[in-house]
Amino acid sequence: MNCGVCTAICPAAEIYNYDPRIICSTIQSKNEAEIEALLKSETIWYCGECMSCKTRCPRGNAAGLLIIALRSLSQELGYFVESEKGRQQLYLKRTIGQWMLEKGYCLYLEGVGTDLHPEQGPVWDWIQDNYRDVFARLGANYQGDGPGILRKIPDEAMAEIASIFKTTGAIDRFESIEALSAKKAKQMDMELDETMNNEYIAHIYSDTEKNHFNL
């Protein structure tokens, strides 16, 4: 299999210096040195996991699913901190990961402001300024008991989520991301503390020092 249909359809390949066909070939080569280099590279972080490759592959394979496996392995082996894009996992852990673990939602409006997401625009600013009233107007149950939009998920339910995270390895992965990121920040001579307001978090969230684009 080397037809490259996955690359032809891939939105990431159009934007980034990225070729899922080559990734599949590298994995199939079983060349340990090349695979280790791949796990430390920027390349594996370019995919958007839209899974268009799955639709088009004549053999029903999915480069996007291989990417999920590679990213998982890169984190297990501690290689993710060797790439600019890989280091972003700490930001994702401290937002998406913590919100899911602590609130039961992967996204939470109070963590998404136009300071970090200017593309959300002035209507989102208006919503954020008035969120309790706007959400009440639209039938939400913001932080309320019982069912409904953005309800407070009961403590006993959140205890079950915490137990699942502990039992299935998510907490171990989170702790590993934190520890390896702290080590990397030290190597890079950057400040990193437990908050979201520090030099390392700002750097991984915003900065691009390499040319990743397919230009």
Partner 1 sequence: MILDGKKAIWSDYQKKIADDDFYYVRSCVRQNFFPGAETTFLRIMREVLGKNVFEHPCHTSCSGIGYHSDLLPLETTMTVVARQFALMNESGYKNIVPSCITSFGLYTEIIETWHHFPETKEKTRKLLKEATGRAFEIPENLAHASDVIYHFRKEIAEKSKFKLVDKNTGKPLKVVEHIGCHYSKMFPHKGIGGAEFPFVLTGMVEDWGGEIVDYPERRHCCGFGFRQYLVSANRGYSMTSSRKKFESMQPYEPDMIITNCPGCPMFLDKWQYTLSELEGKVYGKEGKGIPVFTFEEVAGLVLGFDPWDIGLQVHQISCEPVLDKMGIVYNPATKYKGLKGKDLGIPKPTTMNL
Considering only 43, 95, 176, 181, the residue that binds partner 1 (CB under 8 A) is 95
Kindly indicate which of the ranges 19-27, 31-39, 143-151, 181-189 contains the residues binding partner 1, using the contact rule CB under 8 A. Answer: 143-151
Considering only 1, 92, 179, 188, the residue that binds partner 1 (CB under 8 A) is 92
Q: Does 123 contact partner 1 by CB under 8 A?
A: yes
**What sign does the CA torsion over 190, 192, 48, 111 have?**
negative
Query: Residue 44 and residue 118: Cα distance in Å, rounded?
Result: 27
Q: Does 2 contact partner 1 by CB under 8 A?
A: no
Query: Residue 181 and residue 161: Cα distance in Å, rounded?
Result: 25
Name the minimum Å distance from CB 34 to partner 1. Answer: 21
Q: Does 5 contact partner 1 by CB under 8 A?
A: no
Considering only 174, 176, 184, 185, the residue that binds partner 1 (CB under 8 A) is 174
HSE-up (13 A, CA, CB side) for residue 126: 4
Considering only 77, 113, 143, 166, the residue that binds partner 1 (CB under 8 A) is 166
> How far lies 149's CA from each of 22, 113, 137, 146, in Å?
44, 19, 12, 10
Name the minimum Å distance from CB 105 to partner 1. Answer: 4
Q: Does 181 contact partner 1 by CB under 8 A?
A: no
Q: Does 122 contact partner 1 by CB under 8 A?
A: yes
Match 């700002």 to its residue by tokens.
202
- Maximal C-alpha separation, the chain: 59
Written as six digits, the tokens of 161 are 């989520």
Residues 38, 44 contacting (CB under 8 angstroms): yes
Residue whose CB is less far from partner 1, 35 or 152: 152
Q: Does 83 contact partner 1 by CB under 8 A?
A: no
Considering only 41, 52, 83, 181, the residue that binds partner 1 (CB under 8 A) is 52
